[in-house]
Structure 1
Amino acid sequence: MSDEGFRDVAEEHWAALEAAPTSGERHLRVSQLPVVTEQGALVAAVDHHGFRHVLIPVHSRLKIRPGLDGPVLHLRKRPLEDEETYQTYADLACLRADLNDLFTELCADILDAISKLPDHPVKALYQVLDRWKALFQAQSAVLGPEQLAGLFGELLLLYRLLQLDSSAHRLWRGPTGHRHDFTTGSLAVEVKTSTKGEGRRARIHGLDQLDAPDDGFLCLAWFRLHRATEGSSGIGFLDLLEQTLRSCDDESSLLELLAQAGYQSVDAMRYRDVRFVIDEERWYEVAPDFPALTTRALVAAGVPISVLDVEYTVNLSGVTPAPMTSDAVSRTINSLIQESA
């Protein structure tokens, strides 16, 4: 069915529901739409206030992306029950009747996308919502060389985590402003990259970045990268990004994290020639004897903390601190997944 066909079908269902007697305050008037997923058919609905909804059936354990709860569009998880059935839905509602025509266009897009991806209806929903949202996004600044290298390093670890758990993007907290790049709460990993050919140096931002979680464990993962020339070996930035997205069970949420990290998908072609070679990878346990300047250490030493915006460099070139073994690194990665379950 074409977009126009889905648009007409949705309008017909909503018009019939709006003509029906008003439902109770906590009830919906509903009508099944001709798009079916593994969990059942999509549903058109009208609530007590006359607002229009489209309901996508989902598994009861599925988490719905937060954040879409504005004055016009509202997305939430909603159970519906009648005398014979009980089903959970992703409920997308339009809370302004004067924008029903635009909501119909949006829902026609959603119906079309889900009809082509019935095994992953919520993923299709997010893709459509993100495409519409992109219409109103201003062009972002291009990532600089150091930002690209830093994001590449974090994606290297994220990709490894996603191979073990397709929901592991929830561990990536750095883009949201958390002091550690990856964390379960009690276990954290801070990722640092360097494009320098000599020495092993990590630039630390703030007094809390190398503070371990309370009663927890912190590792620093350090990568030395060099920018590959065109036609040479190495891993393409966009190749790694696409592999990471394909491994994730919520591509849209990961794209949102990437946007917070400074990458916008509309700028993808600007990075098509960016490739990195991984020259070296070392992991360190940030133990009490690790060379770090932290709030916890200063407080323990009785030093008053009145200096802000602290940045410093840790030199990891010597014999100490000793890097973790490959087995210890593997155990740490597995522990991240196990503790997030």
Structure 2
Amino acid sequence: MSDETLRRIVENSWHALEAEQATAERRLRTTPLPVDTEQGPLTAAVDHDGHRHLLIPVPANRKIRTNPDGPVLRLSGRALEDADTYQSYADLMLLEGDFGDLFTGLCVDVLDATRESPHAPIKALYGVLDRWKALFRAQRALLTPDQVVGLFGELTILKRLLERDPGAHRLWHGPSGYRHDFWGGATAVEVKASTSPEGRRPRIHGLDQLEAPAGGELWLAWFRLQRVMSAGVGTGFTELIGQTLYLCDDEQALLDLLAGAGFRPTDTDRYRNMSFLIGEERWYRVTPDFPGLTGEALASAGLTISALDVAYSIDLSGETPVPLPDDEVRAVLDRLPQEST
């Protein structure tokens, strides 16, 4: 039986159980899965609160490790009894419904491992859990505070674009390392954000970041953000991510983009206390006289470009350049999705 078939069986089992009438609070609705052990089959289950479980049968005297035990997964011992049988289980439970697909993949791996070692299902379970833990430990470098601020600025623009077009995630090129954060063809937007209470000094990366697309126009959006700690004040970083996922017509594509930007859903709880207010927002059209250093300007001056990894700051604290009025900002946001259709 292929993993895809097994995955479909597991998903269908949970869906069928979820459709059944909930009973008493401490009871589970269960259905056996097509992988047997010496103690009986592995079992899919759904509890009174709608949480999904994978039950691995174990001898009655077997101690179950209590790891993982966190906001997403919980492993514990559980006994089920009916009129004819009494069976002990290792109960792997999903606490956070947003991770259903990942949990299904984890459970399929457990079923595969148990099928290979039906005499040692608990060892198979621990082995799969440890491999998944090692995978996430190796890949899960958290975003730095400055990276969160920068991503919050980009997601603010993305949300406005998605409100205009649910497929506007296609315009977001920042996670891929493209020189501009948003690009539709003739229009590009570069986003900068800072929590500094003074000045407007965005950091520019590369000699081409302030160069407009060929035959097109470039706009720079600058945000001053204020970190807030009070509940109900400002917009949470993970709240903003949830809003963009809700608006997007291809959630998985957006999750892939977020992963490219360094955010993974498994780290959601690590960012829950990060909320921001937008204290100031300014948009600029990047014209030839806009402050900055570009490869085009250097070439026009007859200079040979041999510098690599150029990064510098520009100062937008004065009266010039003049920021765009709100109606022109809306026009830019309206135009971008139209270019991608």
Bin for the TM-score computed over the shorter chain: 0.5 to 0.7
Give the aligned length: 234
Residue in structure 1 matching 2:101, options 114, 128, 131: 128
Q: How far 1:259 sits from its partner (Å)?
A: 0.5
Q: Is the 8 A contact 2:11 2:104 kept in 1?
A: no
Cα separation, 2, equivalents of 1:112 and 1:317: 60
User: Secondary structure of the residue that 1:166 maps to in structure 2?
Assistant: coil
Q: How far 1:182 sits from its partner (Å)?
A: 0.4
Identify the residue that residue 268 of structure 1 maps to in structure 2: 268
Cα separation, 1, equivalents of 2:283 and 2:136: 38
Instruction: Using structure 1 for the length normalisation, give the TM-score.
Output: 0.64
Q: Which amino acid aligns with 1:207?
A: L
Q: Is the 8 A contact 1:109 1:128 kept in 2?
A: no
Q: Which amino acid aligns with 1:138?
A: F
Q: Is the 8 A contact 1:230 1:273 kept in 2?
A: no
Identify the residue that residue 223 of structure 1 maps to in structure 2: 223
Unaligned runs of 5+ in 1: 1-99, 117-125
Identify the residue that residue 304 of structure 1 maps to in structure 2: 304
Q: How far 1:130 sits from its partner (Å)?
A: 9.3
User: Secondary structure of the residue that 2:151 maps to in structure 1?
Assistant: helix
String of CA shifts for 1:14-43, please: whole Å, max 9, x gaps.
Answer: xxxxxxxxxxxxxxxxxxxxxxxxxxxxxx
User: Secondary structure of the residue that 2:268 maps to in structure 1?
Assistant: helix
Instruction: Using structure 2 for the length normalisation, give the TM-score.
Output: 0.64
Q: How far 1:128 sits from its partner (Å)?
A: 3.5
Q: Is the 8 A contact 2:187 2:336 kept in 1?
A: yes
RMSD: 2.4
Seen in structure 2, the aligned counterparts of structure 1 residues 326 and 242 have a Cα distance that, compared at 3 Å, is same
User: Secondary structure of the residue that 2:211 maps to in structure 1?
Assistant: coil
Q: How far 1:162 sits from its partner (Å)?
A: 0.5
Q: Is the 8 A contact 1:130 1:252 kept in 2?
A: no
String of CA shifts for 1:154-190, please: whole Å, max 9, x gaps.
Answer: 0000000000110000100110111100001211000
Q: How far 1:230 sits from its partner (Å)?
A: 3.2
Using the aligned pairs only, state the percent identity.
51
String of CA shifts for 1:90-137, please: whole Å, max 9, x gaps.
Answer: xxxxxxxxxx43232123345568999xxxxxxxxx973796389584
Identify the residue that residue 204 of structure 2 maps to in structure 1: 204
Q: Which amino acid aligns with 1:193?
A: A
Identify the residue that residue 242 of structure 1 maps to in structure 2: 242
Q: Is the 8 A contact 2:7 2:104 kept in 1?
A: no
Identify the residue that residue 3 of structure 2 maps to in structure 1: 102
Q: Is the 8 A contact 1:127 1:252 kept in 2?
A: no
Identify the residue that residue 96 of structure 1 maps to in structure 2: none
Cα separation, 2, equivalents of 1:109 and 1:231: 39
Seen in structure 2, the aligned counterparts of structure 1 residues 131 and 319 have a Cα distance that, compared at 3 Å, is farther
Seen in structure 2, the aligned counterparts of structure 1 residues 252 and 227 have a Cα distance that, compared at 3 Å, is same
User: Secondary structure of the residue that 1:315 maps to in structure 2?
Assistant: coil
